[in-house]
Amino acid sequence: MEYKIPRGTFDILPADSAKWQQVMSAFRETAQAFGYAEITTPVFEQAELFERSSGESSDVVQKEMYRFQDRKGRWLALRPEGTAPVVRSYVENHLEAQGRLTKLYYIGPMFRYDRPQAGRYRQFYQYGAECIGSHHPYYDAEIIALQVAFLRKLGLQKIELEINSVGCPNCSKIYDEALENYFEPHKEELCGDCRTRLQTKPRRLLDCKVPSCKAIAKGAPVMTDYLDSDCREHFEQVKSYLDKMDISYKVNPRIVRGLDYYTHTAFEFLNPALGAQNAIGGGGRYDGLIAQIGGKDTPAVGIAGGFERLLLSLEQEGITVSRPYRPQAYLVLLGEAARESGIRLLGQLRLSGFSVQHDPEKDSFKAQLKAADSSQARFALIIGEDEVKAGTVTIKDLAAGTQMSLPIGGVAQFLALS
Ligand code: AMP
């Protein structure tokens, strides 16, 4: 039996781990600088949490969710997205009691049974941030600014921001009727999925990737023409905050977002150079979700982005983010007596937090020094017969080629100060 990794998943191999760690740390640092605190929720939840929040008719629930029963027959789902779990935790743990505003961020794997292709996986890693507790348009702009700051920190320059307003449930309803009236005469030309969407959620037709549906959708009415005065004002305010923050954007009235819970602002970050899977991140306001999940009626706005497409973008822009891991020292031991005191030293240094490498299966001086070089350690700590007799260690600076002798008890202090 030859075991293979499941389709649509990938291993993060040691050679790539530093890069992943680096982008994840950059997100953590940016989110913390904006006043967001980390939250970690389980990778599976009650299936109903997503069915209710994302919408029964959404692609995520209809086609993409990993839904399964546990041994007691409970319906669970691997999380396809991060917002509903964060909101579930916010409500369940009464985080609202800690202050008017709760600003949270997360990092973790998400799961969608999607057709795998470049930049699209069945297990992928997302980062996200949620600002819960305010309807103020400043926060729509703040959450966008967080993503922009993160992209800038990484050095990415070619990512574009598109924003839209999907209005409140009232203007949404009027808009959906207008869409229905528009698409109804074209019903026979639509794909099977879109014919169902026309009945359930006409707005989803605007998101269809089938070329014939796309062509029809081109002439459809646009949401921004259906916003009531409050929604229009909110949108104007968000744009004005973005202008003040010097964040450039394009208004794209076609952005609808795949999930049901969005209200008002909706946005996408795109990298046109990525091809079909060009969305780096997206988000928006979801003022109705918290009440829908059983909490108090609380406004919120959030963003989520994918690390895989971010890493692809970094590669395309020729940006290297990983600092290779380098041990501080490599221990070279010659002879039995040296092994005795050397392993003792290795133990002490490692337990004190120094990174020291050693390979007991390499005997010769030459082989050990070669290994020290290829480990990229800064120093070789050499103990041979002479050093054992004198109670010293020879320390070789591997880049400079210089060496010096120190009493064995002084090595830790030397490493701490170098
Ligand atoms: P969404 O909630 O679908 O807008 O997803 C937010 C972000 O997650 C997207 O902009 C992508 O960067 C990323 N993403 C979504 N689905 C996938 C997937 N199947 N594989 C890789 N990245 C994804």
CA of 115 to the centre of ligand 1 (A): 13
Question: Which of 127, 309, 314 to mutate for ligand 1's pocket (most ligand atoms within 8 Å of CB)?
Answer: 309
Ligand 1 atom closest to the Cα of residue 114 is 19
pLDDT at residue 35, as a whole number: 97
65 Cα to the center of ligand 1, angstroms? 14
Which pLDDT tens digits describe the chain residue by residue (418 residues)?
899 999 999 999 998 999 999 999 999 999 999 999 999 999 999 999 999 888 777 888 888 999 999 999 999 999 999 999 999 999 999 999 999 999 999 999 999 999 999 999 999 999 999 999 999 999 999 999 999 999 999 999 999 999 999 999 888 889 989 999 999 999 899 998 899 888 888 888 887 888 899 899 989 999 889 999 999 999 999 999 999 999 999 999 888 776 677 899 999 999 999 988 899 999 999 999 999 999 999 999 999 999 999 999 999 999 998 777 789 999 999 999 999 999 999 999 999 999 999 999 998 999 999 999 999 999 999 999 999 999 999 999 999 999 999 999 999 999 999 9
Domain boundaries defined on the chain: 14-168+228-316, 329-417
pLDDT at 389: 96
Q: Give the pLDDT score at 328.
A: 97
Distance in angstroms (rounded) separating the CA atoms of residues 187 and 45:
37
- Domain at 329-417: CATH code: 3.40.50.800
Q: Are 300 and 131 in contact (CB under 8 A)?
A: yes
| Secondary structure in 3-state letters for the chain | CCCCCCCCCCCCCHHHHHHHHHHHHHHHHHHHHCCCEECCCCCEEEHHHHHHHHCCCCHHHHHHCCEEECCCCCEEEECCCCHHHHHHHHHHCCHHHHCCCEEEEEEEEEECCCCCECCECCEEEEEEEEEECCCCHHHHHHHHHHHHHHHHHHCCCCCEEEEEECCCHHHHHHHHHHHHHHHHHHHHHCCHHHHHHHHHCHHHHHHCCCHHHHHHHCCCCCHHHHCCHHHHHHHHHHHHHHHHCCCCCEECCCCCCCCCCCEEEEEEEECHHHCCCCEEEEEEECCCHHHHCCCCCCCEEEEEEEHHHHHHHHHHCCCCCCCCCCCCEEEEECCHHHHHHHHHHHHHHHHCCCCEECCCCCCCHHHHHHHHHHCCCCEEEEECHHHHHHCEEEEEECCCCCEEEEEHHHHHHHHHHC
Q: Which atom of ligand 1 is nearest to the CA of 305?
A: 7
- What is the Å distance from ligand 1's center to 380 Cα? 46
- CB under 6 Å to ligand 1: residues? 81, 112, 114, 119-121, 124, 126, 258, 279-282, 304-306, 308-309
State which ligand 1 atom lies nearest to the alpha carbon of 259. 2
What is the CA(305)–ligand 1 centre distance, in A?
Answer: 6
CA 267 to ligand 1 centroid distance, Å: 13
Distance 126 CA to ligand 1 centre (A): 7
What is the topology classification, in CATH, of domain 14-168+228-316? BirA Bifunctional Protein; domain 2 (3.30.930)
